[in-house]
Amino acid sequence: MKKIILALAGLAVLAGCAKQNAELREQDLRRSSYFKTERRINMDFVAIQRALFKHQAECGKAAVFKMDERQASYGTLRYELEPGAGWEKSILVDLTLMQKGWVDAKVYSYSGNVKKEINEIFTSLRAPGVCNPEDAPKEVVPEDDFVPVTPL
């Protein structure tokens, strides 16, 4: 009985070590500690895909769009920081298509300093085919649907 308990304890220790060395998974990135920013994209999923295809054709690199198989209002973008990278060297953008036609985007990355790459992702959507984000037209932020009420 003592040998069985020791064997189980040994397996538990080995399982803990295996988990620490396991590769990062997509769902692991959705922790608040890896959250980078959120933005509104004034496009629907079809327009996002078109922009990414155009950017890929013109510049040779773009994020990859994937639609949620179970819910048509959800999708993701994956931007690899280096070719063939795992999730530890990728940027994940969770996309939610809103009823009014825009997309809410939440950005996650295990890597710390990815501000430039995040800018590249959103610039490729706004100005597909412009390979240098500094050459892209400046982003125009539309005003909200808020209409100020004038006092009577």
- pLDDT per position as a tens digit, 17-47: 444 446 889 889 899 999 999 999 999 999 9
Q: What average pLDDT does the chain have?
A: 83
The answer to whether the predicted template modeling score (pTM) of the entire model surpasses 0.85 is no
Selecting from 3.30.310, 3.10.360, 3.60.9, 2.60.40, what CATH number does the domain 24-135 have?
3.30.310
> What's the average model confidence in pLDDT over 91-96?
97
Q: Which of 120, 113, 68, 114 is nearest to 95 (CA)?
A: 68
Among 42-56, 78-92, 96-110, 133-147, the least confident range: 133-147
Bridge partners of 38?
A: 106
Q: Write the DSSP assignment of 18-83 as a string of letters.
A: HHHHSPP-GGGGGSGGGEEEEEEESS-HHHHHHHHHHHHHHHS---EEEE-SS-TTEEEEEEESST
